[in-house]
């Protein structure tokens, strides 16, 4: 699905509009189209693989893991998107101060600084970064927004693509489980 949805979003953003709502609509249309065509057996081998994979994900204990992982990733990506938007708007002044005080436009310099870290530094960063979102959200928001600005907005772009694709994935699973599967069971009973 990423092979179909990511290029569609990139083309839409490049040539039509960078509004996330419009690209969400186009990706929704493509996903629903794939779901309908697969159910009507119009996609050949891809359709059969697609249905088999969806059914495999919806069986047993695996479905709990799939739903939990999807919700976790949606919350994580949604938080990052929210933080970047807040860092660009409400905490924009703080972001500008951070950009002036740091040299984040040089990724090689940042990478060279991390090469001096030992395992304890990496573990400390891994534990404290999520806590900083709760305890120091304005500062974290400004830092993430400045990283996005240094990457010319590509960080927000890929977070948005990931968020939309996971929302679509969760939507496809729920639709398949409650709408498509229910209709096919009713057709078998008749």
* Per-residue pLDDT tens digits for 55-65: 888 887 888 88
Comparison of pLDDT for 86 and 61, the residue scoring more: 86
**Long-range CB pairs of 85-90, under 8 A, 24+ apart, other chains included:** 85/156, 86/137, 86/138, 86/141, 86/145, 87/141, 87/142, 87/143, 87/144, 87/145, 87/146, 87/148, 88/145, 88/148, 88/149, 90/138, 90/141
167 falls in which pLDDT band (50, 70, 90)?
confident
Give the pLDDT confidence score for residue 4 in this predicted structure.
Answer: 72
The label of the residue with tokens 């794939």 reads 34
Lowest mean pLDDT among 32-46, 91-105, 108-122: 91-105
- Give the chain's mean pLDDT: 80
**Which two three-digit tokens encode residue 109?**
């310099």
The Cα–Cα gap between 85 and 88 comes to 5
Report the b/e string of 17-40 with b at 16+ CB within 10 A. Answer: eeebeebbebbeebbeebbeebbe
The pLDDT assigned to 182 comes to 56
pLDDT digits (tens, 9 = 90+) for 123-163: 888 888 888 888 888 888 988 888 888 888 888 888 887 88
| Percentage of the chain lying above the pLDDT 70 cut | 83
The Cα angle at residue 83 between residues 165 and 125, in degrees rounded to 5: 95
What contacts 51, CB < 8 A, 6 or more positions away?
38, 39
Looking at residue 76, its pLDDT comes to 92
Which two three-digit tokens encode residue 124?
């400390």
pLDDT in tens, 62-83: 888 888 999 999 999 999 999 9
Gap between the Cα atoms of 99 and 87, Å rounded:
12
The pLDDT assigned to 190 comes to 53
pLDDT over 90, % of the chain:
10
């Amino acid at each position: 699905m990423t092979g179909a949805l990511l290029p569609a979003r990139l083309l839409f953003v490049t040539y039509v509009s960078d509004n996330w709502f419009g690209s969400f609509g186009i990706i929704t249309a493509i996903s629903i189209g794939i779901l309908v065509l697969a159910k009507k057996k119009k996609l050949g081998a891809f359709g059969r693989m697609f249905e088999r994979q969806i059914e495999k994900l919806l069986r047993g204990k695996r479905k709990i893991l799939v739903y939990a992982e999807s919700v976790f990733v949606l919350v994580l990506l949604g938080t990052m998107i929210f933080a970047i938007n807040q860092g660009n708007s409400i905490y924009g002044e703080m972001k500008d101060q951070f950009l002036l005080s740091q040299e984040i436009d040089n990724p090689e310099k940042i990478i060279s600084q991390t090469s001096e870290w030992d395992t304890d530094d990496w573990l400390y960063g891994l534990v404290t970064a999520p806590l900083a979102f709760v305890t120091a959200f304005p500062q974290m928001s400004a830092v993430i927004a400045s990283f996005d600005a240094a990457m010319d907005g590509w960080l927000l772009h890929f977070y948005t693509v990931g968020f939309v694709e996971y929302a679509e994935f969760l939507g496809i699973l729920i639709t398949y489980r409650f709408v498509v599967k229910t209709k096919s069971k009713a057709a078998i009973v008749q």
